[in-house]
Structure 1
């Protein structure tokens, strides 16, 4: 996953992890990042690593993951569905056998449900019960109902733990001449959504 730890890091891993690093580095000041670094190492109680048992104590990491799924859902358009009967939805007549495509990307940026929807702001989930497990229809990056994505239980640990380890073992900075204001967040849309360009960061190993 980490081809060049000795210098510039060219991260080619999962797109969702890539977007989380963008949010973490792109929106926080260096001093704030240092505070978060101290916190994430304190929860390990002096251990030289972070494990799954400690993930629940990394509250801010959970907020960042939620906010990234909101702004950058892995599947912007959910898998097509087909209506089984004639029905009416919010005044619209939907005939039987109609193909239905749900735009999860647009739903998660709807100003009717989200304050400043285009802003990366993890704290919006503080003291907020909204989750992406399919019960809150304003936030459905994995779909909802009986046919929601079955891979959610596999995907989350494979995002949370690797990201926690990256944040635990390294401090991260932009390359010289870059800052959060000139980061290119251009996205490529398709079956999945990803950043157009690779994320390049400089890791500094943390010695326990």
Structure 2
């Protein structure tokens, strides 16, 4: 399986390498006392680790970073954009909007097709002796099982595109919202920083994945962020395969079923102070201490549940944990003067395939004094 815990752990060198690059950029900004665009930095971080895991050294050598990000953003706009025909069916007959959308979709699809074909071709040309544990990426794995599972080139391209799309936006959104909530509640940030800095050996360049298991409050902060700010609040739409009856409601076969996970996670009957950011609820002896990401509790489904649970859950949480730990370990954070004058951080959101903040997160990093 491409996204098992074992496989995810094998990519730790990718995550730690990208974390080092981000920390270096923030240190440079801190030395100059300048404001950084943390939204852009975190978006680039999640994009880069997914790209490198999918296409490996080819991603580094060919300079695909910018193109990958542009294509992922284009996909999000096409799939999650406002469709006027849904509200005014009469427009369907005019066919104007459909032609415009189809033209855009075909252009984006052609760009994806060219890029993924190049990646597959270059991987296919690699000789086996070149492979070692750090060189084998998702594309290599898919090509190695192509004959066994009778995968066509279109199958492989579809899997790669899904990995890019699902793995980039969601992790970045959670990281950004975690920082936003911690900035809005400085006492919680202080508590998290104290845990990270007291647990990690003093003077380390970065927090590594070996350090993460002992950071209980870090994991609680991430769980609480996912409760309040699920990137996909309605999950992925499902299709009923047979007629069924649930608590008196008949659901015919062939009907699209949408699960409002956002409402479940904010239901006052299930959550104390449901709209408040309280990571302590996920700590030992907290009201949600036994809950995890695996869909075992109906009121908490950030990644879905069952056979259709998000396959990238392990990869996403690994990326989020190591980045947030390093943001807390290496830096203190302040709001720019302009934001303080405007009343703080805006929580206005934009809708689409995912839900994210409208405004960029601008912060001032400060290297803590010993």
User: Comparing 156-165 with 109-118, which one deviates more in the overlay?
Assistant: 109-118
Counterparts of residues 191-206 of structure 1 (less than 5 Å): 191-206=353-368
Once the two structures are TM-superposed, the CA of residue 168 in structure 1 deviates from its matched residue by 0.7
TM-score by length of 1: 0.90
Rounded to whole Å, the distance in 1 between the matches of 2:315 and 2:234 is 20
Q: Is the 8 A contact 1:8 1:203 kept in 2?
A: yes
Structure 1 partner of 2:228: 71
Once the two structures are TM-superposed, the CA of residue 207 in structure 1 deviates from its matched residue by 5.7
Of Structure 1 and Structure 2, which has the larger fraction of its residues in strand?
A: 1
Over alpha carbons, which structure has the higher Rg?
Answer: 2
Rounded to whole Å, the distance in 2 between the matches of 1:34 and 1:63 is 14
Rounded to whole Å, the distance in 2 between the matches of 1:57 and 1:153 is 17
Rounded to whole Å, the distance in 2 between the matches of 1:35 and 1:119 is 17
Rounded to whole Å, the distance in 1 between the matches of 2:195 and 2:283 is 17
**Which of 91, 97, 100 is residue 257 of structure 2 equivalent to?**
100
Structure 2 partner of 1:56: 213
Structure 2 partner of 1:117: 274
Counterparts of residues 29-40 of structure 1 (less than 5 Å): 29=187, 33-40=189-196
**Which of 293, 300, 305 is residue 144 of structure 1 equivalent to?**
305
Once the two structures are TM-superposed, the CA of residue 105 in structure 1 deviates from its matched residue by 1.2
- Closer, same or farther: CA 33–68 of 1 in aligned 2, 3 Å: closer
- Closer, same or farther: CA 200–148 of 1 in aligned 2, 3 Å: same
Rounded to whole Å, the distance in 2 between the matches of 1:35 and 1:138 is 27
Rounded to whole Å, the distance in 2 between the matches of 1:35 and 1:69 is 19
TM-score by length of 2: 0.52
- Closer, same or farther: CA 57–204 of 1 in aligned 2, 3 Å: same
Structure 1 partner of 2:89: none
Structure 2 partner of 1:27: 185
Q: Is the 8 A contact 1:23 1:64 kept in 2?
A: no
Please give the root-mean-square deviation of Cα atoms over the aligned residues, in Å.
2.1
Structure number with the bigger relative contact order (C-alpha 8 A, sep ≥ 6) is: 1
- Closer, same or farther: CA 34–143 of 1 in aligned 2, 3 Å: closer
Of Structure 1 and Structure 2, which has the larger fraction of its residues in helix?
A: 2
The runs of 5 or more residues in structure 1 that have no matched partner are none
